[in-house]
Amino acid sequence: MVHPRAFLQNIVRRPPRRHSNGVRTVMTTGMGCSSSVVLEESVPHPTTPVVDTDGEARLPSSLVPNHPEPLVDAYRRLDEEICVLESTTPGPRLMTAEAWLELLKSAKRSGSVQSDVPIPPSPPPPPPLPNEVLPNGSIPSGVPGGALKPPLSPDSASENAHKEMVKVREIILKLDIVTNQYKAAQQEEFIARLSRTAMEQEADHFREEMIVHSRKRALTLRTAFERLKRLYLEQDRLLASVYNGAYGTVHEQKLDAELDAARDVRDRLGGAVEQWRIAGGLLRAAAKGLHQVVDYWELIRPSKSAEETITLALDARSTCHGALMALEAAQAALPAVEIPYITIRQQSAVRHALIYLLTDMVNPARYQHTRDVFGVFNANVTKAVHWLHECYNETLRQDFDGADQAATLLAKHLREERLRYIVAKVPPSRSYIRPAIG
């Protein structure tokens, strides 16, 4: 079993990237400064400032021209804003999120991605980022023997899945197998073929849903990263008006070099944290879906009509299929980590149960067997969710928090050193007007 710290062994160490602007050394990426990461969060990091992306072309208030203020106060405020945004490590997270998005797109095109095939690199943000893109695993097609299909738009994938569901419902009602075990046994393989076809359509729909969700996450991170770049540019311009192309003191130069190294460590961990965030969210979604599956299946027996029974069965199958695909994607997001409690054999058994679910529900013995399969699988996935969180909290989170605290402390010392230099060199009457940086 590979723990989160093992990710650092998969990242090639290299010197921090620095770009001299004649004033100071600047790292042109997203860094980090104190954060609490929740693996299952489905929204942006709580401390990440986000620009409104609803079509209104406006910048955050901190990036538009402002009233004059003392230059010392302006530097302090600007550096603190950068530190807060750095703490979310938007640059490394963005590279991980975009690499994950490319993997999902590749899986949707081909139906599967082998774990030993590297992720095709996505276009990086304009400045180079210090962390390497970690390889991801495979996303199975979800249905054995599924035919490869051309890419579908989100609407067409959902529409095809819905049409197939309606078709299956109508056929089952016409065959009258819901209450007749003999007819159900006769039509078992025919219904199984219909189920396979319907699940193939569903698989396209679920893949597209994951792509849409991942694209939104990447957009949020890119927005934060672009804002951080603007803040860096503004800070460079402010310092250029004070410094004469060199460090003010030797101590400042030393602190800047130490901060670069600390940021580099934090950034590498931030990229790995994003992978665990992706996997944690998918695994939690799978567990939530399986809870619903168990509830749907329990309601089948007391159902009053054939239509109600078919509706519950199809809902159970669709929800469980979505949970299976989320689970497979979670495993692909952490290819170097062996998630316990869940085996390939068990996943295959669940998928087999889904294919024959519509005829098995008529036979009391098979109904009970399917009930047991769902119950055990639900319990095991729930255990896996708890394990993932415990493993993360005991390893990677501690490493990230430690690196974050080290970088935060160094950033504070460098800020204080520069403030002392600015106060000594700049007249108190000198003011600063924040420019609008597009």
How far apart, in whole angstroms, are the C-alpha atoms of residue 76 and residue 415? Answer: 7
pLDDT below 70 — which residues of the chain?
A: 1-66, 111-158, 160-161, 437-438
277 neighbors 389 (Cβ within 8 angstroms): no
Helix axes 188-240, 90-110, angle to 10 degrees: 150
How far apart, in whole angstroms, are the C-alpha atoms of residue 87 and residue 221? Answer: 13
Query: Pick from 162, 196, 168, 206: which is nearest to 351 by CA?
Result: 196
| pLDDT of amino acid 314 | 94
Q: Which residues contact 250 (CB under 8 A, 6 or more apart)?
A: none
Query: Pick from 192, 206, 95, 197: which is nearest to 140 by CA?
Result: 206
| pLDDT of amino acid 158 | 66
Structure tokens at 40: 């299952």
How far apart, in whole angstroms, are the C-alpha atoms of residue 75 and residue 165? Answer: 61
Q: Which residues contact 136 (CB under 8 A, 6 or more apart)?
A: 99, 100, 103, 115, 119, 275, 332, 333, 335
| pLDDT of amino acid 234 | 94
| pLDDT of amino acid 275 | 96
Q: Where are the domains of the chain?
A: 67-109+153-427
| pLDDT of amino acid 111 | 64
How far apart, in whole angstroms, are the C-alpha atoms of residue 255 and residue 253? Answer: 6
| pLDDT of amino acid 437 | 61
| pLDDT of amino acid 144 | 34
Query: Pick from 296, 287, 315, 290: which is nearest to 389 by CA?
Result: 287
Rg (the chain; Cα; Å): 27
| pLDDT of amino acid 156 | 63
Q: What distance separates the 2 farthest-apart alpha carbons in the chain?
A: 95
306 neighbors 168 (Cβ within 8 angstroms): no
297 neighbors 370 (Cβ within 8 angstroms): yes
- pLDDT tens for 344-371 read 999 999 999 999 999 999 999 999 999 9
How far apart, in whole angstroms, are the C-alpha atoms of residue 125 and residue 148? Answer: 33
Site of tokens 């991801």:
136
How far apart, in whole angstroms, are the C-alpha atoms of residue 4 and residue 393? Answer: 10
Q: Which residues contact 118 (CB under 8 A, 6 or more apart)?
A: 135
| pLDDT of amino acid 21 | 39
Tell me how many degrees the CA angle 430-433-435 measures, rounded to the nearest 5.
Answer: 145
403 neighbors 265 (Cβ within 8 angstroms): yes
Burial 374-407 (b: 16+ CB within 10 A, else e): beebbebbbebbebbbebbeebbbebbbebbebb
Indicate the DSSP class of residue 122.
Answer: P
